[in-house]
Amino acid sequence: MNEQRIEISKNVLIDCLGLQPGETLVVVTDDSRKELAESLYEAGKRLGAESMLMVMQERSKSGEEPPASIAMAMMNASVAVCVTRYSLTHTSARKQAAAAGARVATMPGITEDMFTHGAITAEYSKVKELTEKVTQLLTRASSVRIEKDGYSLNFSIDSREGVPSTGLYLNPGESGNLPSGEAYIAPLEGTAEGKILADGSVAGLGALDSPLLLTVADGRLIAAEGDKGDELLRMLGDDQGRMLGEFGIGTNDKARITGIVLEDEKVYGTIHVAFGSNNTFGGTVAAGVHIDIVVKQPDVYLDDQLIMRAGELLG
């Protein structure tokens, strides 16, 4: 057993999730991430928690629900950590566990390198402060416009609440990614219009060697031009998966573009959009898929006021 990884796991469980002796820890994983999950399970045991390791078959895409038995265990846990290839963040299982009072951290696609370097090493008190500030900006705004390289995408966020993913989930019902550092919101369905040039990464497809030009009309992705465009459209399917479901802003200054969107979407200086489900954070789309797409150094306007210039947050 990797002792360095167990020590890092202990720090994550204590600092980010506030795990206490006697609490119930459920570590959910699949075959691809079992070794990392075992370190968290062992760390939980050493910290005096009632620890359980639950291994499931790998899901086929992000946003796909885990088995009902795992969803039930998450609901009954004090702390649940999901170490999987594909994301359980935007699933009913995660939402119901948080609603039942569990503190939940999801680590979709995390690698050995990400477990020890980059975003996970951030000073999370600072990440929390910036994340909450950006979340308030999103909550107060009614409209978003993203501009990059001559293309523009705009949509309404009127009456929607921003969501902070701070990396600190210390109170009952708090949940988010680890490593973390983003503020995000569910755009108003059907309002998005325009084009956006994605040049960072795509969940499930990795870092982009060449840009993807995405065209959105009536809130729906209608074209994806570029080397990985056809693959993206296949993953999203022909139905609700193509609806714009999320807009987010990265707030972690230690995060790097790695090709794994878990870290990529947290990079300070990036934004991301996602297509598919958003019913777990204030929207109405339940698509069984949620694919994040990262854009580097854009300009962002909230209610026609510039808040980010070439990736740099203003004010």
Q: How far apart are the first and last CA of the chain?
A: 46
Q: 145 near 293, Cβ under 8 Å?
A: no
- How far apart CA 27 and CA 46 sit, in angstroms, is 14
Q: Could you tell me how far CA 102 lies from the centroid of its own chain? A: 18
Q: 9 near 39, Cβ under 8 Å?
A: yes
Q: To which residue do tokens 């755009």 refer?
A: 187
- 121: which 2 tokens? 């090493």
- 305: which 2 tokens? 């006021």
Q: Which residues of the chain have pLDDT under 70?
A: none
- How far apart CA 141 and CA 43 sit, in angstroms, is 42
DSSP secondary structure code for residue 12 in this structure? I
State whether residue 35 is helix, strand or coil.
helix
pLDDT tens digits for range 170-196: 999 999 999 999 999 999 999 999 999
- 133: which 2 tokens? 């500030």
**What pLDDT score was predicted for residue 72?**
98
**What pLDDT score was predicted for residue 315?**
75
Q: 118 near 263, Cβ under 8 Å?
A: yes
312: enclosing H helix or E strand:
strand 312-313
**pTM greater than 0.75:** yes
Region for residue 191 given its phi and psi (left: phi exceeds 0; alpha: psi -120 to 50; beta: otherwise): alpha
DSSP 206-222: EE-SS-EEEEEETTEEE
- 55: which 2 tokens? 């291994």
- How far apart CA 68 and CA 281 sit, in angstroms, is 21
Strand partners of residue 291? 275
As a whole number, the mean pLDDT across the chain is 96
Beta strands in the chain (DSSP E): 24-30, 50-56, 79-83, 103-106, 143-148, 151-156, 163-165, 175-177, 182-185, 193-198, 201-202, 206-207, 212-217, 220-225, 244-250, 270-276, 290-296, 299-302, 305-309, 312-313
Q: To which residue do tokens 């206490």 refer?
A: 20
DSSP secondary structure code for residue 64 in this structure? P
Q: What structural domains and CATH numbers belong to the chain?
A: 3-116 (3.40.1830.10), 121-313 (no CATH)
**What pLDDT score was predicted for residue 7?**
93
- 32: which 2 tokens? 């691809």
pLDDT tens digits for range 62-89: 999 999 999 999 999 999 999 999 999 9
Residues 6+ apart with CB under 8 A from 152: 145, 146, 194, 195
